[in-house]
A and B are shown apart, each in its own frame.
Chain A
Amino acid sequence: MEKFRNLPVVKKLGFNRIILFGVLVLMYVIFAILSPTFLKYARILSALNYAYFLGFLALGVTFAIATGGIDFSVGPVMFCAALISGQMLTKMGLPLPVCLIVSILVGTMFGAFNGFMVAFVGIPPFITSMAGMMIAKGVGSVFTRTQSVSWPQASQANGWYRMLVKYRLNGTQIPTGLIILLLVAVICGIVLNKTKAGRYILCLGSNKEAVRLSGVNVKKWEMLAYLICGTLAGIAAIFYVGAYTTVQPGLGDTFNNEAIASCVMGGTSMAGGLASVGGTIIGTMIIALLQEGIMALGFQKDYQYVITGIIVLIAVYADIRSRKRKN
């Protein structure tokens, strides 16, 4: 084991991430054995539908957690963005591209709001995003008068946005959503690890005061992390409606939990300063696979929540243990 841990390739990819990937593969194998339908391409696509929007949410939350904070509002913000832009598309007749941009902008605005409250006013992230969650739910409901919004089907006019999720080529479905998600994940990874913004975000997550006293404008960078988080929630909205078309007001909080769970599983430390984009994506996939698998095996969806909750506890406890050992 120790030998395996020290292999250069293992070190580069991260031991924990390899284990996590192993868990993902193992889960797939188990589901495939228990339920033969799991080998069907359609099943995988269905699982991926869930992974797209959750993936974007989780990527965003990774940035918030990297600063040592949290964002509890991403789920409702995603729904709020989908509701507002959907309302504009279906009821007000605005062109689709404008609506897609509006969706992203709504996310950005919530992110900016959260970021401002946390970084400049100094309200704890947990409270800020709790308030952000309430406001997002309320705004979504008020804007649509508590009606659900159905985005157009693929065959209808303005339905092309669904190709962002799935593209039919000569009868086979290509998961374009996966390609876009991975692309965005790579960009997030680059931002986090190779740019000034990422360096500052990670460092301030670890020790904000030391970074401030080094002459860095920490407020700006902390706010940026939340802004990125909100923007990604806006993008997630597009992929949610791309997969499921219908959104209802007043919902979305479960997705917060699953997004946070994805990050934590993937090795992003709740203490801040340590984040893994790759881990987050694998974590997302595990949750998506889990919910698909539980349905395929004919269990209630509710088992998924229980299992995810337990996984989160194990992941966090493992993180705490490993940090204790290091100190």
Chain B
Amino acid sequence: MNKKKSGSPLVNAIGTQKLVILAVLIVLFAAFSILSASFRSYSTIITILSYSYYITFMAIGATFALITGGVDLSLGTGMICYGMIGGYLVIEQGMPVGVGMLVTVLVAVLFGLFNGTLIAVFDIPPFIATLATMMITRGIGSVVVGGMSVTWPQAASAQGWFRSLFRTQINGVMIPTGFLWVLLSVIIMTFILNKTKLGRYIIAIGSNKEATRLSGVKVVKYHIAAYAITGFFTGLAALAYAATFQELSPGTGGGLELDAIGSAIIGGTSTAGGVGSIAGTLIGVFIMSMLKTGLPFVGLQANWQQIITGIILLGAVGIDVMKNKR
């Protein structure tokens, strides 16, 4: 145990790890910008942002699951499932897009509650419970819509207004409106995590559930609530995904949860529970989407992103493990 604290109080307040990954993000951006002229264009930045919205929402959800000491593997398939159900109501059943959006989020919250109940009430290990939900959501989405792809309304169509929630064009200039929601979510969730009972108890559960219970906190309720939050944000992710890509196909979505969980961990959220930062998660997401978008600009296949992300993930956790060993 090294008791020496690094000098600057600012560094201590923000946390060393967050500063390091922020630096990584800046270095990445600088490197890509120097190497490729087309990377440093406005439209690329918009693209990076567009790709980041749904991952950010999922990653915020993942952060809450991780803070409780658990995990949610159903994020990816779940997101597609909820988006498909909502979109199906709009396209096939002729419901207003607002209702479709509401249903999407509602179904997401329901599955979040389902996960939370399995974990908090039935004591099923989080990763196996959400693994099962991953399979269930993978199937249910396409069972409901009859096995076809669902395409949310075009931007130009009457129902297309919802797409401008995430990206709108004013006088020919793309405005990343989605980023507003992302920032708002980060601020609100940071507040909830650090300043409200809900957040405090979720951290406490992740750190020492039994002690929290013995302090008279209704741990089951808050444990389920954490997963409901995860579900809620998966629902928002589904909307962002639908707005960005329009089409949702059955059987996809598996693997996207890795980007989300990976972002949260790179951002400094501990897999052991009790520690997490929403702002860190956001930086983690940007590192991910920067890699995804940036690599092709420097002549590498986008697939390298997965390899590099895997290595960064191992590096981030490895450093954490080494630090705790000492």
Interface flag for B124 (CB, 8 Å): yes
Interface flag for A141 (CB, 8 Å): yes
Enumerate chain A residues within 8 angstroms of B127, measured Cβ to Cβ: 70, 126
Binds A, one of B171-179, B180-188, B254-262: B254-262
- Contact: B310 with A131, CB < 8 Å? yes
**Bound complex: CA A306 to CA B142 (Å):** 11
Interface residues of B in 211-257 (CB under 8 A from A): 250-251, 254-255
- Contact: A303 with B138, CB < 8 Å? no
Interface flag for A142 (CB, 8 Å): yes
Interface flag for A163 (CB, 8 Å): no
Chain A minimum-CB-distance residue to B259: A134
Interface string of B103-123 (1 = CB under 8 A from A): 000000000000000100011
Interface residues of A in 116-144 (CB under 8 A from B): 117, 121-124, 126-128, 130-135, 137-139, 141-142
A130-B313, A138-B310, A141-B303 are known contacts. Are A317 and B140 too (CB-CB below 8 A)?
Answer: no
- Contact: A312 with B307, CB < 8 Å? no
- Contact: A302 with B313, CB < 8 Å? no
| A-B CB proximity, top 8 nearest | A138-B306, A305-B139, A309-B135, A138-B307, A134-B310, A306-B139, A141-B303, A309-B136
- Contact: B132 with A309, CB < 8 Å? yes
Chain A minimum-CB-distance residue to B140: A306
Chain B minimum-CB-distance residue to A127: B317
**Bound complex: CA A70 to CA B254 (Å):** 18
Enumerate chain B residues within 8 angstroms of A173, measured Cβ to Cβ: none
- Contact: B306 with A134, CB < 8 Å? yes
- Contact: A260 with B265, CB < 8 Å? no
- Contact: B304 with A135, CB < 8 Å? no
Enumerate chain A residues within 8 angstroms of B307, measured Cβ to Cβ: 134-135, 138-139, 142
Chain A minimum-CB-distance residue to B123: A320
- Contact: B317 with A305, CB < 8 Å? no
Interface flag for B129 (CB, 8 Å): yes
Enumerate chain A residues within 8 angstroms of B254, measured Cβ to Cβ: 253-254
- Contact: A310 with B132, CB < 8 Å? yes
Can you show 8 pairs from A to B with CB atoms below 8 A apart? A130-B313, A134-B309, A138-B310, A141-B303, A141-B306, A303-B143, A306-B136, A320-B122
Interface string of B287-326 (1 = CB under 8 A from A): 0000000000000010111111111011001100100010
Enumerate chain A residues within 8 angstroms of B138, measured Cβ to Cβ: 254, 302, 305
- Contact: B314 with A270, CB < 8 Å? no
Interface flag for B131 (CB, 8 Å): yes
Enumerate chain A residues within 8 angstroms of B265, measured Cβ to Cβ: 127
**Bound complex: CA A261 to CA B139 (Å):** 15
Enumerate chain A residues within 8 angstroms of B305, measured Cβ to Cβ: 138
Chain B minimum-CB-distance residue to A121: B318
Q: Interface size on A (CB < 8 Å)?
A: 46
- Contact: B255 with A313, CB < 8 Å? no
Interface flag for A245 (CB, 8 Å): no
* Smallest beta-carbon distance A50→chain B, Å: 16
Interface flag for A257 (CB, 8 Å): yes
* Smallest beta-carbon distance A309→chain B, Å: 3
- Contact: A146 with B303, CB < 8 Å? yes
* Smallest beta-carbon distance B145→chain A, Å: 10
Interface string of A304-323 (1 = CB under 8 A from B): 11111110110011001000
Enumerate chain B residues within 8 angstroms of A123, measured Cβ to Cβ: 314, 317-318, 321
Residue in A126, A137, A145, A309 whose CB lies within 8 Å of B255: A137
- Contact: B271 with A126, CB < 8 Å? yes
A134-B258, A253-B255 are known contacts. Are A312 and B128 too (CB-CB below 8 A)?
Answer: yes
Interface flag for B15 (CB, 8 Å): no
- Contact: B139 with A304, CB < 8 Å? yes
* Smallest beta-carbon distance A252→chain B, Å: 9
A141-B301, A302-B251, A303-B143 are known contacts. Are A130 and B258 too (CB-CB below 8 A)?
Answer: yes
Interface flag for B125 (CB, 8 Å): yes
Enumerate chain A residues within 8 angstroms of B65, measured Cβ to Cβ: none
Residue in A128, A130, A253 whose CB lies within 8 Å of B262: A130
Enumerate chain B residues within 8 angstroms of A249, measured Cβ to Cβ: 303
**Bound complex: CA A310 to CA B184 (Å):** 37
Chain B minimum-CB-distance residue to A75: B254
Interface flag for A264 (CB, 8 Å): yes
Interface flag for B160 (CB, 8 Å): no
Chain A minimum-CB-distance residue to B316: A127
Residue in A135, A141, A145, A257 whose CB lies within 8 Å of B131: A257
Interface flag for A300 (CB, 8 Å): yes
Chain B minimum-CB-distance residue to A124: B271
- Contact: B303 with A142, CB < 8 Å? yes
- Contact: B131 with A312, CB < 8 Å? yes
**Bound complex: CA A254 to CA B76 (Å):** 12
Enumerate chain B residues within 8 angstroms of A313, measured Cβ to Cβ: 118, 124, 129, 132
Interface string of B250-287 (1 = CB under 8 A from A): 11001100100110010000010000000000000000
- Contact: A134 with B124, CB < 8 Å? no
A126-B71, A130-B262, A302-B147 are known contacts. Are A308 and B314 too (CB-CB below 8 A)?
Answer: no
